[in-house]
């Protein structure tokens, strides 16, 4: 894995955005795998700025998002479709027809089939953006005795429900399941860029960057097996996780 240590979370977002911009400049018809969540949120304004400054053209990209809560209406403000539409697709001039965010409302088996078609039709994901959960999840692949390779419905870890309750009125409102790319799907991306920040990610980053173990109990550790994974963290998190370049 390549590790980029930046001065601040803002610089991490700029660095992650630059990876995406470079990818699209090199290959304008890139297929991007995209993430939502609090950490990835500030990556998108850098992409939008680059688009507005004419540095990058997103008109030929296609996108596939990692996941969505089961039961979530795509039209709801809390949906990952709305998140992507207002933070990236709309302001960066991306045609919604070239994007796929799984629906949490469709019949599970139909949506899993559609997700697989979108993931694997034409070409594989060129670059996958990831955040990481306090549980160690990537996408919504939660820790356990085993992991799942393909697209599936995942029961969310208690720690994920607690962490994500900040986006809802109460913890009871957080959906308990999600549809997600599997670990195998994520690992098939040509290139992976993971961004992390904050004290609550220290144990996971320690497991990823300073321990040698690969374990289903911390799904992000699977990234140690990827050929081209870049981890972007700020100096504060690197220090707290005991990482030294």
**Phi and psi based region of residue 154 (left: phi greater than 0; alpha: psi -120 to 50; beta: remaining):** beta
143 interacts with ligand F6R by CB under 6 A: no
Q: Which residues ranging from 117 to 136 are in contact with ligand F6R (CB under 6 A)?
A: 131-133
Q: How many residues bind ligand F6R (CB under 6 A)?
A: 15
Give the angle 84-86-88 at the CA atoms, nearest 5°.
Answer: 55
**Are 67 and 131 contacting, i.e. CB atoms less than 8 angstroms apart?**
no
For ligand F6R, the closer of residues 133 and 143 by Cβ is 133
For ligand F6R, the closer of residues 38 and 144 by Cβ is 38
Of 197, 199, 194, 192, residue with least CA distance to 9? 197
Nearest approach, Cβ of residue 139 and ligand F6R (Å): 5
CA dist 90 and 75 (Å) reads 15
Stretch touching ligand F6R by CB under 6 A, among 35-43, 89-97, 205-213, 219-227 = 35-43
- Applying CB under 6 A, among 36, 99, 103, 230 the residue interacting with ligand F6R is 36
**Longest CA span, the chain:** 47
Lay out the site mask for ligand F6R across 164-203 (x = CB under 6 A, - = otherwise): ----------------------------------------
176 three-state secondary structure: coil
The gap from C-alpha 127 to its chain's centroid, in whole angstroms, comes to 11
- Applying CB under 6 A, among 139, 143, 182, 219 the residue interacting with ligand F6R is 139
Give the DSSP letter string of 181-195: --HHHHHTSSEEEEE
Nearest approach, Cβ of residue 228 and ligand F6R (Å): 19
Q: Which residues ranging from 60 to 119 are in contact with ligand F6R (CB under 6 A)?
A: 66-67
List contacts with ligand F6R (CB under 6 A). 35-40, 66-67, 131-133, 137-140
């Amino acid at each position: 894995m390549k590790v980029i240590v930046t001065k601040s979370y803002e610089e991490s977002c700029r660095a992650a955005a630059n990876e995406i911009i470079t990818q699209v400049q090199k290959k304008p018809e890139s297929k991007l795998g995209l993430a939502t969540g609090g950490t990835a949120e500030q990556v998108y304004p850098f992409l939008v700025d680059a688009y507005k400054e004419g540095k990058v053209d997103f008109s030929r990209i296609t996108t596939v998002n990692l996941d969505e809560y089961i039961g979530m209406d795509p039209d709801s403000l809390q949906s990952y479709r709305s998140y992507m539409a207002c933070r990236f697709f709309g302001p960066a001039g991306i045609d919604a027809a070239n994007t796929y965010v799984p629906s949490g409302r469709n019949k599970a088996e139909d949506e899993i089939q559609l997700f697989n078609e979108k993931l694997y039709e034409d070409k594989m994901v060129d670059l996958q953006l990831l955040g990481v959960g306090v549980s160690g999840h990537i996408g919504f692949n939660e820790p356990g005795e085993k992991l799942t390779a393909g697209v599936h419905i995942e029961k969310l870890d208690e720690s994920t429900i607690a962490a994500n309750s900040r986006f809802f009125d109460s913890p009871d409102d957080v959906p308990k399941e999600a549809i997600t790319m599997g670990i195998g799907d994520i690992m098939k991306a040509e290139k992976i860029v993971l961004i992390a920040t904050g004290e609550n990610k220290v144990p996971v980053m320690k497991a990823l960057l300073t321990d040698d173990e690969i374990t289903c109990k911390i799904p992000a550790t699977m990234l140690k097996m990827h050929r081209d994974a870049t981890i972007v963290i700020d100096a504060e998190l690197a220090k707290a996780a005991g990482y030294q370049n």
